[in-house]
Structure formats: C-alpha cells, structure tokens
Amino acid sequence: MDQSESQLQQAIEETRTAMNQKIEMIQDHVYGTIEGSRATVNRVMGNVKRVRQTVVQATSTVDQLLDPVDGARHEAVEPVKYATELIHQVHQNPWLAFGSAVILGYILGGLANDKSAVARAVWGLLQGSTRR
C-alpha cells in the first residue's frame, strides 16, 4: 500500500501543480482583459472629452454667429412692434386718432402758409373744445 499511497500522493501533487498553473493562466488572462478594458475605457473617456470640447467650441462659434443675426432681428422687429401697437391704439380709439390726424394736418398746413394763422386756428380749436 505504501507504493500505491505514494503514487496517489504523486498524482495529487501533479494535479495540484497542473491546477495551479491553469489558475495562474486564468488569472493572467483575467488581469490582461481587465487592463485591456481599462485602456479601452481610458481611450473612450479621452475621446468623449475631445468630443465635449468640440461641442463647446461649436456652440460658442454658433453663438458668435447668431449674435449679429439676433441684433438684426431685434432691429427689424422693433419698428413692426411699434407699428402694430400704434395700429392697435388706432383701433381702440379711432376718433381720437382721426382728430389728432386732422389737427396735426391743419397745424402743419398752417405752418406752410402762415404761422399766425396756425396760432389762431389752434386757439380757436382750444376755445371750441372748452365751450362744450
């Protein structure tokens, strides 16, 4: 039994050695895979950072390009807003707008003809509106 026991002990040691070698190979493979994955993740993160910087630069460039357009839009929209507000006011108070236009036309026409006639006309209009 001694020989059989020693053969069995030797077979166990050989199996143990073979298993240790395989475990080391698996560990090396796993560590290699982890290191490869880590390198890949680092490369991807570097690429993401570069893409992010590019997006920030592109956004800044677009903002710089849109600033003059926005200024021109604002300059174009303001007169239209004023005109629409004026039109709205005329729709709200048509008689006031009509009266204002008549008085202004009368005053400007009088200025072209005679300054004293304009003053008399305005005075007459003012007295006529206070008599009511």
Can you tell me whether residue 114 is helix, strand or coil? Answer: coil
**pLDDT given for residue 24 in this prediction:** 92
Minimum mean pLDDT among 4-8, 10-14, 17-21, 101-105: which range? 101-105
pLDDT attached to residue 113? 66
117 pLDDT higher than 80: no
Q: What pLDDT sits at residue 130?
A: 56
Q: Within a 10 A sphere around the Cβ of 87, how many other Cβ atoms?
A: 11
| Residue 102 pLDDT | 85
**pLDDT of residue 1 exceeding 60:** no
- State which H helix or E strand residue 32 sits in: helix 2-92
Residue boundaries of the structural domains of the chain: 1-69
The CA-atom distances, in angstroms, between 62 and each of 2, 53, 65 are: 88, 14, 5
- For residue 34 the two structure tokens come to 């982890």
- Cβ atoms of 118 and 107 closer than 8 Å: yes
CA angle 48, 49, 50 (to 5 degrees): 90
pLDDT for res 95 = 86
Instruction: Give the pLDDT confidence of 57-100 residue by residue, as tens digits.
Output: 988 888 888 888 777 777 777 777 777 787 778 788 888 888 88
